[in-house]
Amino acid sequence: MRSILTAGLTYENMWDIAIAGMKGLVAVVVVVSVLCSAGVSSASQDLGQPAPLGRLHEFSWGLGYHNYKSEWQTDDEDMVTGTLKQSNYWIQVYYTFAENWSFYSRFGVGNLKIDTLFTQLDPPKDFEGDYGFNLTLGINGLLYRAPSWGIGPILQANFYADYETELDGELREDLGGGTAKILARYQGWRDINLGVALQVDAGPLVLYGGGFGYWTTADGHVEIKPLGQNLERHKATVDEKGNFGGYLGARIPMGKAWSFHAEGQYKSDFSFSVAISQQLSAYFD
């Protein structure tokens, strides 16, 4: 084993790397704060390996799919939550801004489905939100790097457009029966993930994984308008159950510049993602 000082670094440029890392972290926090204040929403996505994909000051890019599933809870006994499901397709750009540190930005489209959310109806119906745009920002890096392994932090924030659905149905008999119109909306959905990951280079295969804490909350709005009766409104804060999760992934090279990625993640439920990436700097060797 050798420390980060013997991996091509000196005390002098370690300070430069630390300053560059702090600048990148501040940039992410600023953008996250602006987007949160704009009232967009978020859900956890692919966290990736801690080490950069490209060389210093070089770009990489990728395409991917994330299948997200989670369990939610609410502070309002009059509102019911269920299993949340989402399919998200994205394109991503990575930039290595310092030795062993990278920043990435991901743009995609995703839907939202919550099984049997509307239990006021007979039979119960699902919440189904159409595909909307989303944005992910993150920083990964290595604090220690040995010849065949390394360890470092991960920071990620994901932001999605608000989701809304409107439908008609029959109220349960114990609620008075008859036809009713329901409008439901999820907005201000915020999700931050911060953790530590270990990376192991097993020949051409790269294995990585770690643990992380997460904070996820949103505002839920439901309006029920029974035919010929007064409008009933409910508003509550909804949260994903738990605050700690773990993930495990692998990256498999496909030729000189391309790689295939697969990752499994567990928070309140199991999610997975697959992706391909291209290291643009490989073409300049």
Please report the pLDDT score of residue 200 as a whole number. 97
Both tokens assigned to 14 = 């370690």
pLDDT score of 244: 95
Query: What integer is the mean pLDDT of 196-225?
Result: 91
**Predicted local confidence at residue 195, as pLDDT:** 96
- The number of residues in the chain equals 285
Strands annotated E in the chain = 59-74, 83-98, 101-118, 125-141, 144-145, 149-160, 163-170, 179-202, 205-226, 232-240, 244-254, 258-266, 270-279
Average pLDDT over all residues of the chain: 81
Residue 218, judged by CB atoms within 10 A of its CB (0-12, 13-18, 19+), counts as buried
**Residue 220: band (very low, low, confident or very high) from pLDDT cuts 50, 70, 90:** confident
Q: Domain 4-284, what architecture?
A: Beta Barrel (2.40)
User: Cα(205)–Cα(111) distance, rounded to whole angstroms?
Assistant: 32
pLDDT above 80 (res 108):
yes
Instruction: Report the share of the chain in percent with pLDDT over 70.
Output: 80
- Give the range among 71-75, 90-94, 165-169 with minimum mean pLDDT: 71-75
Choose between 85 and 20: higher pLDDT. 85
pLDDT-derived band at 207, boundaries 50, 70, 90: very high
What is the C-alpha separation between 232 and 222, in angstroms, rounded? 8
| Residue 171 banded pLDDT, cuts 50, 70, 90 | confident
Would you say the pTM of this structure is higher than 0.85? no
Q: Which residue(s) pair with 203 in the sheet?
A: none
Residues 17, 277: Cα–Cα separation, whole Å? 25
Please give the average per-residue pLDDT across 11-15, as a whole number: 45
Would you list the domain boundaries of the chain?
A: 4-284
CA 184 to chain centre: 23
Q: Which two tokens stand for residue 273?
A: 């993602």
Of 18-27, 84-93, 144-153, 168-177, minimum mean pLDDT range: 18-27
